[in-house]
Amino acid sequence: MPEIRNPNLQSQGPGGGGGDMRSTVVFWLLLLLVFFGYETFFNKPKPETPAPAAKPSQSQQAAHPAPSTPAPATTATRKSAAKAPAPAPAPIITAASATETTVENELYKIVLTNRGASIQHWILKQYKDSNGQPLDMVQPQASARFGLPLSFYTYDPALTTQLNDALYQVNISGPRSSPGGPVLAPATITFRYAANGLDIVKTLDFNSSYVIGVDTEVKRDGAPVRALVAWPAGLGDMEEFQPSFHGAIFTSAASQFAWSLDGKADYTRATKVSGDATFNEPYSYAAVADLYFAAAFLPYDLDNTTVVTLHHDVELPGNPGSSSSQKKTAQVIGMAMGDATGATRLRLFAGPKENDVLSSIHAIGPDGKPTGQSLSPLIHFGWFSIIAKPLYLAVRFLRRLLGPGANNWGWAIVIVGLILNMVTLPSRLMMTKSSLKMMRIQPKVDAIKKRYANLKLNDPKRAEMNQEMMALYKTEGVNMYGSCLPMLIQMPLLYAIYEVLENAIELRQAHWLWIPDLSAPDPTYVLPALFILTMFWVQYISPSPGMDPAQRRMMAFVMPVIFGFTLFHFPSGLSLYWFVGNLINLGIQIGINHSSVGKEMHAIAARRAAKKAGAGARTVQGRR
């Protein structure tokens, strides 16, 4: 996306020139050359700057010449001047005081203020904050510092302040729940302000969805002004601004600027978003989003769309309850969108990143109707989305199949974990059989290595060793990568389920047994502890002959502890999935140990352990 600098800050190019003082002729030639070059290449009009007050044309000046010395007025002249009517002043349209207007439907309650014709609160009725109150999409502390949603953004700070501090008259078209009560959608609210050469109209249309229509027109001295509509300062679930926040991970760390151009959706993290950067591109939509919520603008005229990205770094205490706690940086990003021609017409979505909701909202298509790309790409499932999205739909299907019970999201994760481990069981059995074949020929492999042990790494005879080993593998029917390939198959699946459990808004504040929120870490640390215990058990009963004792201890003890402590900061839904996987792997390993393959592996492992024990080496050997 090409970045366009602020039009009001563009330089007008170099000017002036110099000449050779020894030659007057050369001096004048250079001066003329610089003058015409400057006029041709540099002195171009600045784009989109507000039009100045109209000046009279040459014909008007000729018809009404301004005398250099005023002529004495005659009696007749004074009488005619007295009779001529003075030009009527432009009407002033403004409110006497600040007022609020509330609009409601089943999904939201929006509180509008006539100061700046902006939004004070956008409350989602079906979603709660951490205190159990309906979630407000407007972050109060950040908005108080950087601006309210639907405020204006211009390239003139003084004008921006004037537009957003003005008191607008309010005209409401729609029913009310009671006299003086909230306005019920569908409804239309128009804000109007006219004074000091400004004429502003902002019209908002509300319906039964999360989307509202926004039409704005700003004029100054009759000329259109390029005034964009902004969502300046993050989203309401940035709880690190609240005194009750005690988490180690800031919600703002997941903030991102997302967009769609030519049907291709993309996004960039908050840390890489530039402040006050302007982009003129045919956006289908542009949005400020985090893991679970988004505010997205959808323009009507894609070809004349202008987007400005906003970025603010705010230093906050890591624990707002303690002023002495270490400061952390919260990335507060926002955006503004408008039409390059001056008048702006767009739609605004502010709500949850829930698949059914986003799939029902479409950008403007080639036919001028909302038939274009949907907002569903705002849910990012990472590189393996081709696997992650079916998994997400499977978890949702199981949840609906289980019914509306409070714990059923957790049980859906348990069932998905069971199914996926059963699906990957053949690859695990293949890996076990491949390991047994390698164990059988390990003495022959050791013998080959022993014959070439004294060779240097760059000795050409090492190629002979590799040829002998490859011949041995071929003769014995062993695939040297057989124990690794099944694991490579499982890795994309593991990453995909991680993305699903991290990004699914349905897990937000969904509880399971003792866990209050499957999207947050387990506050009791029970799940990480169970994960460490079961992973150690699986490692302990799995035979690993030939492994160095230090490596064996690492696998049996250290690895479970490392993974378990990592889960302290991961969503408990993911910890639940991995714990279920460990339980299933434990059962599978016990079954393998009692099979002929497992018994042979343990017999080989016991012989090698006894041999090493006779040499004085200590090992930690698995049990059946």
DSSP string spanning 337-392? EEETTS-EEEEEEEEE--HHHHHT-B---TTSSS-S-BSGGGS---TTHHHHHHHH
Residue 165 tokens, joined: 């501090």
Phi, psi of 128 (to 5 degrees): -115, 155
Q: Residue 334 — pLDDT band, cuts 50, 70, 90?
A: very high
Task: In whole angstroms, give the CA distance from residue 601 to residue 592.
Answer: 10
Q: How many CA atoms lie within 13 A of 500 on its CB side?
A: 25
Q: What is the mean pLDDT of the chain?
A: 79
The three-state secondary structure class of 183 is: strand
Domain with CATH 2.70.98 in the chain: 100-380
Please state which of the four CATH numbers 1.10.10, 3.30.70, 1.10.3470, 2.70.98 is assigned to the domain occupying 100-380.
Answer: 2.70.98
Closest to 130 (Cα-Cα) out of 508, 404, 501: 508
Q: How many CA atoms lie within 13 A of 261 on its CB side?
A: 13
Phi, psi of 260 (to 5 degrees): -140, 125
pLDDT value, residue 358: 95
pLDDT value, residue 68: 35
- The model's pTM is 0.74
**The pLDDT of residue 285 is above 90:** yes
SS3 content of the chain, % helix, strand, coil (to 5): 40, 25, 35
Q: Residue 90 — pLDDT band, cuts 50, 70, 90?
A: low
Q: Residue 420 — pLDDT band, cuts 50, 70, 90?
A: confident
**The pLDDT of residue 403 is above 70:** yes
Please give the average per-residue pLDDT across 575-595, as a whole number.
Answer: 85
Q: Residue 548 — pLDDT band, cuts 50, 70, 90?
A: low
pLDDT value, residue 214: 96
- Per-residue pLDDT reduced to its tens digit, 177-207: 888 889 999 999 999 999 989 999 999 999 9
**The pLDDT of residue 238 is above 80:** yes
Q: Residue 550 — pLDDT band, cuts 50, 70, 90?
A: low
Residues written for the chain: 624
- Per-residue pLDDT reduced to its tens digit, 432-488: 777 777 777 778 877 888 887 777 777 777 788 888 888 887 887 777 666 666 667
Task: In whole angstroms, give the CA distance from residue 528 to residue 578.
Answer: 9
* Percent of the chain topping pLDDT 70: 77
First to last CA, the chain: 60
CA 101 to chain CA mean position, Å: 31
- The sign of the CA dihedral 589, 593, 597, 600 is positive
Beta strands in 290-353 (DSSP E): 293-299, 305-317, 327-339, 344-352
- Per-residue pLDDT reduced to its tens digit, 343-359: 999 999 999 999 999 99
Residue 384 tokens, joined: 């393996």
pLDDT value, residue 6: 39
- Per-residue pLDDT reduced to its tens digit, 358-394: 999 999 998 888 999 999 999 988 788 888 888 888 8
Please give the average per-residue pLDDT across 494-508, as a whole number.
Answer: 86
Residue 532 tokens, joined: 């460490």
Q: Residue 82 — pLDDT band, cuts 50, 70, 90?
A: very low
Residue that is written with structure tokens 């978890």 in the block: 395
Please give the average per-residue pLDDT across 565-584, as a whole number.
Answer: 84
**The pLDDT of residue 36 is above 90:** no
Lowest-confidence region among 71-80, 290-299, 453-462: 71-80
CA-to-CA dists, residue 85 to 69, 80, 188, 363, angstroms:
25, 10, 39, 52
- Per-residue pLDDT reduced to its tens digit, 129-142: 887 889 999 999 89
CA-to-CA dists, residue 78 to 9, 73, 75, 82, 166, angstroms:
49, 6, 5, 6, 41
